[in-house]
């Protein structure tokens, strides 16, 4: 019985089915990707929905590769999809299936339909079939080959399979109704001749089933109860039903929901492939890609993606989700769970002229203000430090409360310092700041209660770790990247500043041993993840997962107390 607190129209349908004991009370869903690309966040929505339903109803969930098109499919995609589904917690147990394993059964069912007089071999080519299909307002024209005898059809179909005919010269079509108001029912194609090796079947087949013919059969073979797909298949459902009814085999229920669209993001596999092939990004797992591999490399947690998918829910109406919601999900998760650290991305040297040379103090820093159990760590403090260039202005604008000549700031976990002198090179560029510190203001001591308007982060120069930091921004500048001016394509909406690489960053010492994949909040800066491919202990490389929002204000308030 249902144990779900979630309530959506799909679960309502399932509840009704359970009441009338349709499918003998079983619930069995599947996720059926075509291995022609990496999975993206839209697929995550589908995985969470299908897997979530199987969990909620004590049912089963299959992963099935819909590998019916040899021209675009590759083993690399199969491997990445398995990894991604597992990463998202989609547990298919031992139920990993391939549609191509059902090709023989599908072929036999096609023969059955021919024998029933419900399918025929057609000699029209693709263009001719399209031209005779009719329109929404006009019926189509029957193929001149529609009334071939059953014997002739059986013979030709067998010879199609044997490889006697070149690509595109023959198809097997269902014999339904060329006047149907639903164009999908106008004698749709079931098989095409495609002389192409298949990534699993090799050269066994030279005829391949279409999606419409194959998909329901796959669901039927696997005893799926609810075949959940995206809205564009709504008009295909009558055909899904027609095939199963006319074969007289087990008949799952197809249900459609609206696909996920996100602002500033493209989610078409064809376009994502183009971004990769034309090298607009560095690969399918480029941290700017909306692929699960990209999100993972950037540092997104599987949990945050699950939370996002559950939060957006499912509906019957197409809509556009604000990418800020996805960013909110990851911030929520990381705010609770990541260790804080200090990192200076654009360093500016500070010399504390009244701090003893050679002296090093170890100061206590809180690891996570959201999680007391995370404890604290020691950070070294000395005469020479780095602060961020952004935290100093020689000529401060109004309401700029950070460091400028003659003003004071607090160094987080340390002391209040005052800028006494700006040192410049011959060209007039600032090379360092000479400051003094106030020994009476050490954080955590009784005398530290003197207040200044601003607290900034810093790293001690003598112990600083050199690092590369990659700042990622949205890959597209337009809310809807598919909206383009005439004569241009979506590539014209690419954000030229989507990646900024900083190579002179200075990090606090503990970050030196960050393991690839480790995540941190760099205080006041954002959430960062040690890159799984390029980061090594001793030579860290960090990806920015997401910027911070207003958390600093909170920290600052606490520090002032």
Task: Give the residue numbers marked as catalytic.
Answer: 34, 259, 269
Closest to 382 in 3D by CA, of 403, 421, 402, 353: 353
Cβ–Cβ under 8 Å, residues 75 and 199:
yes
Q: Which of 259, 393, 434, 453 binds ligand ATP (CB under 6 A)?
A: 259
Q: With CB under 6 A as the contact rule, which of the stretches 38-46, 351-359, 441-449, 550-558 interacts with ligand ATP?
A: 38-46
Which residues fall within 8 angstroms of residue 552, CB to CB, at 6 or more apart?
A: 523, 524
Q: Which is nearer to ligand ATP, 43 or 173 (CB)?
A: 43
- Is residue 82 part of the contact set for ligand ATP (CB under 6 A)? no
Task: Name the residue number minimizing CB distance to ligand ATP.
Answer: 42
Per CB under 6 A, which region of 42-50, 85-93, 239-247, 449-457 contacts ligand ATP? 42-50
Checking 351-356 for CB contacts under 8 A at 24+ apart, the result is 351/383, 351/384, 351/432, 351/433, 351/434, 351/435, 352/383, 352/384, 352/385, 352/417, 352/435, 352/436, 352/437, 353/420, 353/434, 353/435, 353/436, 354/436, 354/437, 355/382, 355/383, 355/437, 356/383
Min CB(84)–ligand ATP separation in Å: 12
Q: Which is closer to ligand ATP, CB of 257 or CB of 386?
A: 257
Name the one range near ligand ATP by CB under 6 A: 31-39, 118-126, 218-226, 238-246. 31-39
Strand pairing report for 119-122 and 171-174: antiparallel
- 314: contact with ligand ATP by CB under 6 A: no
Per-residue contact flags (x/-) with ligand ATP for residues 230 to 249, judged by CB under 6 A: x-------------------
Residue 430 Cα distances to 300, 350, 352, angstroms: 37, 11, 16
Nearer to ligand ATP, 269 or 470 (CB): 269
Binding of residue 229 to ligand ATP (CB under 6 A): yes
Applying CB under 6 A, which of residues 267, 464, 471, 514 lies at the interface with ligand ATP?
Answer: 267
Give the residue ranges of DSSP H helices in 248-322: 269-277, 292-298, 302-312
Task: Say whether residue 224 binds ligand ATP (CB under 6 A).
Answer: no
Residue 207 engages ligand ATP in binding (rule: CB under 6 A): no
Tell me which stretch binds ligand ATP (CB under 6 A): 43-51, 171-179, 279-287, 521-529: 43-51
Among 29, 46, 220, 254, the residue binding ligand ATP under the rule CB under 6 A is 46
Count of beta carbons in the 10 Å neighbourhood of residue 445: 11
- By beta-carbon proximity to ligand ATP, the closer residue of 32 and 299 is 32
Taking the chain, what is the end-to-end CA distance rounded to the nearest angstrom?
53
Could you tell me which of 118, 183, 165 has the C-alpha nearest to residue 146?
Answer: 118
Tell which phi-psi region holds residue 139, choosing left (phi > 0), alpha (psi between -120 and 50) or beta: beta
The reply to whether 291 sits near ligand ATP by the rule CB under 6 A is: no
Task: Please identify which residue in 23, 29, 32, 307 interacts with ligand ATP, judged by CB under 6 A.
Answer: 32
Give the contacts of 383 (CB within 8 A, at least 6 positions apart). 351, 352, 355, 356, 357, 358, 359
Number of residues that bind ligand ATP (CB under 6 A): 14
Strand partners, 365: 377
C-alpha span between 280 and 275 (Å, rounded): 5
Stretch that binds ligand ATP, among 28-36, 275-283, 515-523, 548-556 (CB under 6 A): 28-36
Give the β-pairing of 519-522 and 526-530: antiparallel
- Give the nearest distance from C-beta 262 to ligand ATP in angstroms: 9
Residue with Cβ nearer ligand ATP (44 or 129): 44
Cα(291)–Cα(84) distance, integer angstroms: 9
**Structural contact between residues 402 and 391, judged by C-beta atoms closer than 8 angstroms:** yes
In terms of CB distance, is 259 or 393 closer to ligand ATP? Answer: 259
* Interacting residue with ligand ATP among 11, 28, 45, 506 (CB under 6 A): 45
> Which residues bind to ligand ATP, rule: CB under 6 A?
32-34, 36, 42-43, 45-46, 229-230, 259-260, 267, 269
């Amino acid at each position: 019985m249902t144990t779900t607190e979630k309530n959506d129209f799909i679960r309502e349908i399932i509840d009704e089915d359970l009441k009338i004991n349709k499918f003998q009370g079983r619930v069995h869903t599947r996720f059926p990707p075509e291995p022609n690309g990496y999975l993206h966040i839209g697929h995550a929505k589908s995985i969470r929905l299908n897997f979530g339903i199987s969990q909620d109803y004590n049912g089963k969930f299959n992963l099935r590769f819909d590998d019916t098109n040899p021209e675009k499919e590759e083993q690399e995609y199969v491997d990445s999809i398995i990894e991604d589904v597992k990463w998202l917690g989609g547990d298919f147990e031992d139920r990993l299936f391939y549609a191509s394993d059902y090709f023989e059964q599908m072929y036999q069912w096609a023969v059955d339909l021919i024998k029933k007089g419900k399918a025929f071999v057609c000699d029209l080519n693709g263009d001719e079939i399209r031209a005779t299909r009719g329109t929404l307002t006009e019926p189509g024209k029957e193929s001149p080959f529609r009334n071939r005898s059953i014997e002739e059809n059986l013979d030709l179909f067998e010879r199609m399979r044997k490889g006697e005919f070149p690509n595109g010269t023959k198809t097997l079509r269902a014999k339904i109704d060329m006047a149907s108001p639903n164009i999908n029912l106008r004698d749709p194609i079931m098989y095409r001749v495609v002389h192409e090796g298949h990534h699993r079947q090799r050269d066994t087949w030279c005829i391949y089933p279409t999606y419409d013919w194959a998909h329901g059969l796959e669901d039927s073979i696997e005893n799926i109860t609810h075949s959940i797909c995206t809205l564009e298949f709504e008009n295909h459902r009558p055909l899904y039903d027609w095939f199963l009814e006319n074969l007289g085999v087990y008949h799952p229920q197809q249900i459609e929901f609206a696909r996920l669209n996100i602002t500033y993001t493209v989610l078409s596999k064809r376009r994502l492939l183009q971004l990769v092939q034309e090298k607009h990004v560095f690969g399918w797992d480029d941290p700017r890609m909306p692929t699960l591999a990209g999100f993972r490399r950037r540092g997104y947690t599987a949990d945050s993606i699950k939370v996002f998918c559950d939060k957006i829910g499912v509906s019957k109406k197409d809509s556009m989700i604000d990418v800020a919601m996805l960013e909110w999900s990851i911030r929520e998760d990381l705010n609770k769970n990541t260790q804080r650290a200090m990192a200076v991305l654009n360093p500016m040297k500070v010399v504390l002229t009244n701090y003893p040379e050679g002296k090093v103090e170890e100061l206590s820093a809180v690891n996570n203000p959201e999680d007391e159990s995370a404890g604290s760590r020691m950070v070294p403090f000395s005469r020479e430090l780095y602060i961020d260039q952004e935290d100093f202005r020689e000529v401060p604008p109004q309401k700029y409360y950070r460091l400028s000549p003659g003003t004071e700031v607090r160094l987080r976990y340390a002391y209040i310092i005052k800028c006494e002198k700006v040192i410049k090179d011959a060209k007039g560029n600032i090379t360092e700041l000479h400051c003094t510190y106030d020994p009476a203001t050490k954080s955590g001591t009784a005398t530290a209660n003197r207040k200044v308007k601003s607290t900034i982060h810093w790293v001690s120069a003598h112990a600083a770790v050199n690092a590369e930091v990659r700042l990622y921004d949205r890959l597209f500048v337009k809310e809807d990247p598919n909206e383009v001016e005439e004569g241009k394509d979506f590539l014209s909406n690419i954000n030229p500043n989507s990646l900024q690489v900083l190579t002179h960053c200075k990090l606090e010492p503990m970050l030196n041993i960050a393991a690839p994949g480790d995540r941190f909040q760099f205080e006041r800066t954002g959430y960062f993840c040690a890159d799984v491919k390029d980061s090594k202990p001793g030579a860290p490389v960090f990806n920015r997962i997401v910027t911070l929002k207003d958390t600093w204000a909170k920290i600052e308030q606490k520090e002032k107390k």
